[in-house]
Amino acid sequence: MNDNKLRDLICDLARSMFDRGLTGGSTGNISARTSDGGLFASPTGTSFGRLDPARLSHFDATGRLIDGDPPTKEMPLHAAFYDTRSTAGAVVHLHSCHAVAFSMLPGVDEDNFLPPLTPYAIMQLGKVKLLPFFLPGDPAIGDALRGLAGKRSAVMLANHGPVVAGKSVEAACNAIEELEATARLALLVRGLNARVLTSNQIDKVVTKFDVEWGT
């Protein structure tokens, strides 16, 4: 995909998520690898509903900002994913309501944030790590991600929002939408003794779809 098409795709996908209420105001940020190993990222203080393709922050392959507006303050968490996961072609961070709400509840599994309600979150996300609260833009978020050594494609920042890396910008957006949908399901069935997938069923999904699972 050429860079102009990638710029447009980033903005189109961001606008779609904004229009459907997955992140509001000037929240959320998105980045994607360019054809030459550089990076496009949403600028600081911008809305997913009004991103301008021509004003995306543009980094070269060395990480130097070469044109566009100043980038999101959350670049440390984006950089941590790119530096630790060789397959990462895009990173998306949202302030999606249901995932944030679920992160606030007691008894949530920090190592496997989403309960196994359907196969789809398992297929697209693997295990989602719940990280503690950090101030927005804190470089320590990047340090926490690096501490996972690239073993997770998705994390949930407590009281803040999910962050997902994917092979492409479409894959990352699809996966983070699945994370939000599963969190919504988890809230809907909480306390209702819902039937979750069994360990055997999870193992079958992991094996059939070659899911990164385990540590």
DSSP state of 72: P
One-letter identity of residue 90: A
Assess whether 74 carries a catalytic annotation: yes
- List the catalytic residue out of 74, 177, 178, 180: 74
Find all residues with CB under 8 Å of 189, minimum gap 6, and list them: 117
Q: For residues 212 and 161, what is the distance between their CA atoms, to the nearest angstrom?
A: 22
Per the residue annotation, which of 82, 120, 170, 212 is the catalytic one? 120
Distance from C-alpha of 162 to C-alpha of 103, rounded to nearest angstrom: 10
φ/ψ of residue 66, rounded to 5: -110, -20
Residue 153 DSSP symbol: S
- 110 noted as active-site residue: no
Structure tokens at 90: 């895009």
Assigned token pair, 148: 């996972």
> Cα–Cα distances in Å, from 113 out to 4, 53, 68, 154?
36, 34, 36, 10
List Cβ neighbours of 50 (8 Å cut-off, separation of 6 or more).
15
Please give the positions annotated as active site.
74, 120
